[in-house]
Amino acid sequence: ASHPLNDVWYAILADNLSGEVQAAHLHNAELGMNGEVVVALNNIEQGNDNGVRIEGSNATEITSEVGGLFVNDKLYVNMHTEA
């Protein structure tokens, strides 16, 4: 199946977190710096042992600017836990 070029599908797995994930985002920043939220990540599934899986698509939020940040290593994932 073909997908539009602005569709971004993601699957993020994490474990040993400090608590349940309340929100997750893609942020824009250079390595080691804090950055602004550019895309909210949805479909958070809590697992056992403080693990989480986040999977889905955010086509409506992906612009050419965000795509450029991605290919130039200017994005990072931040998971916000309740702890």
Give the angle 60-27-50 at the CA atoms, nearest 5°: 100
At 29, list the tokens: 């920043």
| Amino acid letter, residue 8 | V
pTM for this prediction: 0.72
pLDDT for res 39: 85
pLDDT per position as a tens digit, 3-58? 555 566 778 888 888 888 888 888 999 888 999 998 888 777 777 666 677 777 66
Look at residue 10 and give its three-state secondary structure. Answer: strand
Are 56 and 10 in contact by the 8 Å Cβ rule? The answer is yes
